[in-house]
Each structure stands twice: as C-alpha cells, then as structure tokens.
Structure 1
Amino acid sequence: MHLVVARIGRAHGIRGEVTVEVRTDEPEQRLAPGAVLATDPASTGPLTIETGRVHSGRLLLRFAGVHDRTGAEALRNTLLIADVDPEETPEDPDEYYDHQLVDLDVVLTDGTPVGRITEISHLPSQDLFIVERPDGDEVMIPFVEEIVTTIDLGEQRIVVDPPPGLLDDRAEIASARDAETGEPRDDAGASGQGPAKDGA
C-alpha cells in the first residue's frame, strides 16, 4: 500500500534543504532521517532523507545527493510516498490511514446516504473528506470531531452531522429519502437544520 506522506515545497537556504507540507500524522516515523521514499513523479526518486529539522513551525528536509539550492528547487511539488503494510494501523486508535477511509460510505446521523469517500485532502489547517455523491457531484466534509461522529470500519461507513449549509443539497437528499420511505419531513428537515445527533 502506498501512502503520500508529504509534498515538497520551496527550497530553503543554499544547502539543499526544502520545506515540506506534511500529509501524515506520523512524521517522526515516515519522515525520519534514513527513510527511503518513492516519489511522484517517479523520475525524481527514490529519495533518501538525510536530515530533518523544524524551523519557524515548518519541517525542513535535506535529501541524499541534494546539497544546493538548484537541486532543491528541482524537487518542488514532488510528492513523497511511503510503502505501508495494508494491515498496519496507527498507534492512536482515533487516527486512521487514508487507505482505511477511502471507499467508505458516508451517511447522516439518521441514516440518509451522503456518498462515498474517494479521497482525503490534507490541508495545513485540517483534513477533508472528498465525497462523491450518488449523482456524481463532489462535496468536501471537514474531518473534525464535531462533524464526523462515528467511523465504523467494520460496517464500512462513516456517520456525519454537518452544520446547515455544508451539504448544499441536503434538503433534496432528505426529500428523496422521505419519498422512498413515505415518511413526511419534519420542520427541522424542511428548514435545513438537519437531524439531531442520535448518540452514534
């Protein structure tokens, strides 16, 4: 299993260091000196991490064979990829690898289908689920505890309780579900406030 663990940013200084956008919850393991990483594009790798340090809140890496600014700039926007055992799980039970979450079904707290996770987007501020809706459209759901209430790997589903407006067509989804069940929508659903948490 291949896991994108970082994206190389701009060069730092003149001795081959680069800033990196970390895309793993385990940088001390995946981005440690001595780690050998595949790359995308593949033509720039594999790369072996020679040194790593934190400067002004950003991780700086230097790779074996890259010791000047020109070489560092040539690596900009390269993705760093680690090989991960598919059976391996993070030490923290509340953390997940991307491959554990991709393809899981996403539903609201009342069971209304939202879609299927196709990608995890790792931004500096937070992670996002990229969810493909049944009609082919995509919606982005922040991976935060206030919204993602349950992750059930056994049932292969994720339960979310999004705030009003996050899912623009949430009312339409609820309407379609009610049409299937024959149950009328309540005032909360009609006003776009969404269902209350069910404690899942």
Structure 2
Amino acid sequence: MNYYEVGKIVNTHGIKGELKIISKTDFPEDRFKPGNILYIRDNGKINSYEIKSHRTHKQFEMITFKGLENINLVENLKGKTLEISEEQQESLSDGNYYHHQIIGLDVFSEDNNYIGVIKEIMSPGANDVWIVKRKGLSDLLLPAIKDVIKKIDLEQNKVIIELLDGLD
C-alpha cells in the first residue's frame, strides 16, 4: 500500500497532547477532521492514529489523537511525518493533481527542449511554485499558472511549459 505525506509534526502544544502541524495538504479542514485516521512511520512500522480534535492556530494545524491526551505520550512524535493511505485520497476534478503526481515529472519547453525534473512544490501564497532541478544550473522556480504550465501529461511523465521572460 502507498502512503502520502499530508503534514509534519513540528512540536507539542500545552500539556494535553496537542500537536503543532505544518500542513502539506490543500484540504486541511477535511484531512484533519476528527475521526479521520492518519499514519506515522516509526522504525519501519506504520502506526495508525485517530484524530480526536483539530483547530487552526496561526499558520499551523493543531490536532490531538484519541488515547494520546497527555504531552508525555506525544513527545516522541515530534519531527514525524503524517501520512494518509492511497485509499484515503479523494478524486480530484480534471486539471487538478496531487503533489506526488507532479513531483518527478520531466519538464520540457514548448519547442521540446529538456529543462529538468520537478523536485519539490512550494505553496507560498496565491499559487504553487514548482522547483525544477536543472543539470549544471541553479534550480528553476516555476509559478504553477496557466500562462506557464501548458500541458501536464502523466502517462508520458512530462510537463510542457512556456518559459516566460524573467523566469530563467
């Protein structure tokens, strides 16, 4: 079974087992809903945890897990990655993709010149920014907007872009 990252535990909060999460999902209100199951890897083993509570605080998602309502029970989770199973992923509408579908795709210009491979996606604000690793050059930061991203072809494992002035 495949698992996909939806967040990272960066710290505890208070004494009642609340965890401070940096979200890596576009749907935090759905993904961290009480009753949902999240998975955490620990020494090669995958453990499941049921969410008891969720709230947003500043730029963080704050959650507690059922049965772990004490700081001493969650201290060891700091730094761990929160994941969901493949079955928990919801279908997206046409033209929308999960980050794991985009990362690793080859990037080509409209005239079919190879540019590099997408290694990471940042979400700094209004739109995502795709980080493209180029051979012998610094990374290229591509805004994920219609003017730049012309075609995503998952079957061919590639993205066609228009390299606007100033992006290179």
TM above 0.5, yes or no, is yes
Q: Report the counterpart of residue 176 of structure 1 in structure 2.
A: none
1:87, distance to aligned residue in structure 2 (A) = 9.2
Q: Give the structure-1-normalised TM-score.
A: 0.65
Equivalent in the alignment of 2:74: 72
Q: What residue number does 2:10 align with?
A: 9
Looking at structure 2, the residues matched to 87 and 47 of structure 1 have their Cα atoms a distance apart, in angstroms, of 17
Larger radius of gyration: 1
> Quick check: which one's strand share is greater?
2
CA RMSD across the alignment: 3.1
For residue 16 of structure 1, report the CA deviation from its aligned partner: 1.1
Q: For structure 1, which runs of at least 5 residues remain unmatched after alignment?
A: 168-200
Q: Tell me the amino acid that sits aligned with residue 36 of structure 2.
A: A
Instruction: Give the total of aligned pairs.
Output: 164
After superposition, where does 1:4-153 map in structure 2 within 5 Å? 4-42=5-43, 45-85=47-87, 89-90=91-92, 92-117=93-118, 119-123=119-123, 125=125, 127-133=128-134, 135=135, 139-145=139-145, 146-153=147-154
Offset, 1:55: 2.4
Q: Superposition pairs for residues 155-170 of structure 1, below 5 Å?
A: 155-162=156-163, 166-167=167-168
SS of structure 1 residue aligned to 2:100: helix
Structure with the greater relative contact order (CA < 8 A, sep ≥ 6): 1 or 2?
A: 2
TM-score by length of 2: 0.75
Q: Which has the higher helix share?
A: 1
Name the CA distance, whole Å, in 1 between partners of 2:90 and 2:69.
34
Amino acid at match of 1:139: D
Aligned equivalents of 2:105, 2:78: Cα separation in 1: 32
Deviates more, 1:19-28 or 1:98-107: 98-107
Do the aligned partners of 1:130 and 1:138 also contact (CA within 8 Å) in 2? Answer: no
